[in-house]
Amino acid sequence: MSRYLRRKTGINDNKMYEKALKKRGVKSVEQHRTPTLREPSSEEIMDLHYVYRTWTLGDSFWKYATEFYGSPQYWWVIASINKVSSESAIKIGDTIAIPQDLATALQVVG
């Protein structure tokens, strides 16, 4: 199930994008709004079962999501569980936790 199905949308007709919108021949675009995710508690995180990986050169959340969940779209679950917003917060040599059960992890971070 796509995480966009429950996402609110809005019309972007901001003056700042006027040139880009005009170039596309439109007056506005409909966009998905940035979701507000709740940060899971330490207890919720501890209750999950994990596979641990040491971050190496070339690693990315989307690659791990593809490997463990069969789809890169769940990269944000791994980032959320590790309490970071992107790979830029991870350094080579850091250990990251990858929840084994996606369905349970989605309940925790959703």
In the prediction, which pLDDT does 35 show?
Answer: 65
Tell me which range, 4-13, 29-38, 47-56, 77-86, is most confidently predicted by mean pLDDT: 47-56
> Is 84 or 7 the better-scoring residue by pLDDT?
84
Specify the amino acid at residue 95: T
In the prediction, which pLDDT does 50 show?
Answer: 96
In the prediction, which pLDDT does 79 show?
Answer: 93
Q: How confident is the model at residue 36 (pLDDT cuts 50, 70, 90)?
A: low
In the prediction, which pLDDT does 3 show?
Answer: 62
Indicate the burial class of 2 (C-beta count within 10 angstroms; 0-12, 13-18, 19 or more). exposed
The two tokens of residue 52 are: 């641990």
Q: What is the mean pLDDT of the chain?
A: 88
Sign of the C-alpha dihedral computed for residues 16, 17, 23 and 26 taken in this order: negative
> Is 33 or 70 the better-scoring residue by pLDDT?
70
